[in-house]
Amino acid sequence: DADVTQTPRNRITKTGKRIMLECSQTKGHDRMYWYRQDPGLGLRLIYYSFDVKDINKGEISDGYSVSRQAQAKFSLSLESAIPNQTALYFCATSDAGLPQETQYFGPGTRLLVL
């Protein structure tokens, strides 16, 4: 969905390096999410943010941090990358908290940690 963009699309880094993945959205949504996708495991939630001042850990937040710089921007950082963080990372957005709210996903960032 072009309304949710992620940079970079692909990244190769070395163990121990700090890297940042960025997400921007033009949908005007308050809620933003970071997921990682691993083969056979589906998507797992890393962090989520309901507005600029509200950031929460998801189910697999260890080794990651986030920053919500503005309503439209939500960045994910790997403080010291390790090989098992090699995965496909997705950013998503959604509107206010209703049960039927749909999450809209970015194109993903493929990360390889050597």
When the beta carbons of 82 and 89 are compared against another protein, the nearer one is: 89
When the beta carbons of 49 and 85 are compared against another protein, the nearer one is: 49
In the chain, the N- to C-terminal Cα span, in Å, equals 30
Provide, rounded to whole angstroms, the least separation between the CB of residue 58 and another protein.
7
Provide, rounded to whole angstroms, the least separation between the CB of residue 15 and another protein.
26
When the beta carbons of 90 and 113 are compared against another protein, the nearer one is: 90
User: Could you tell me if 91 and 23 are in contact, meaning their C-beta atoms sit under 8 angstroms apart?
Assistant: yes
CB under 8 Å to 26, separation ≥6 — which residues?
A: 3, 72
Binding site for another protein (CB under 8 A): 1, 4, 40-45, 48, 50, 58, 90, 92, 97, 99-100, 102-108
β 19-25/10-13 pair status: unpaired
Coil, helix or strand at residue 85: helix
